Amino acid sequence: MKYSNLNKKGNEIYFDDSENAIDSLETALFLFNRNGNSKWKWIAISLQHSLYSFCISSLNKGNYERVSFVKGKQARHYLISPKVALNRIKKVKYYSYSNGTPREIPFLISSEEQKALDYLLYEIRNNFVHFIPKVESISINKLKEACSIALKIIDFIATKSNTITFIDFDDSQQRIKKSIAGLQSILK
């Protein structure tokens, strides 16, 4: 079953946690064709959402309670924040397998990369999603830098970490790699 085929026709759309992340990644690439500099706002928001969604997809391992918490009298489930998700991702041990032998893959984020991610995750995303009337000027180069770092982490989680279950692995990986390659060429 390919979500990309299912979602081309009919009166419904189909998503799971990994498809949600892929959709945001593809949307970021699609938005590049939009005219004007305001497209960078939407590219940044889409990449932030894709990063967060891939973190959630990697961490949940088929159980939404791993990435949620219960709050309130009605015992409603809430998703963990992007900061919590990224901090949990940093603590996971990742492995690749060669000839049946596991080899640990280091996942490192420098302090400079973390600052750029915080900028993307909180200043950019929150300022635009919860926009307070004001005049704002944002450096496109700074946005590109933060988006490049988010893309690097998305690439690791989605294609190298071996922590996400995809309904159609080959189709999903092809879509992810195509989007990453397209975005990397734009963000240079």
Global pTM reads 0.89
Position 179 scores a pLDDT of 98
Is position 32 within any domain? yes
Asked whether residue 171 is domain-assigned, the answer is yes
In a domain, 69, yes or no: yes
* Cα first-last separation, the chain: 35
pLDDT at 5: 73
**Residue 7 located in a structural domain:** no
Position 57 scores a pLDDT of: 95
Q: Is residue 19 part of a domain?
A: yes
In a domain, 78, yes or no: yes
Domain that holds residue 170: 13-187
- Is there a contact between 14 and 178 (Cβ–Cβ < 8 Å)? no
Tokens of 54: 């891939």
CA 171 to CA 41: how far, in whole Å? Answer: 28
For the chain, 188 residues long, give each residue's pLDDT as a single digit of tens: 677 777 777 788 888 899 999 999 999 999 999 999 999 999 999 999 999 999 999 999 888 889 999 888 888 889 999 999 999 999 988 888 777 788 888 888 999 999 999 999 888 888 888 788 888 889 999 999 999 999 999 999 999 998 998 988 999 999 999 999 999 999 98
CA dihedral 141, 90, 88, 84 (to 10 degrees): -30
Instruction: State how many domains the chain has.
Output: 1
- Identify the DSSP state of 145: H
In a domain, 144, yes or no: yes
How far apart CA 64 and CA 56 sit, in angstroms, is 9
- Identify the H or E element spanning 186: helix 169-187
> Would residue 70 count as lying in a domain?
yes
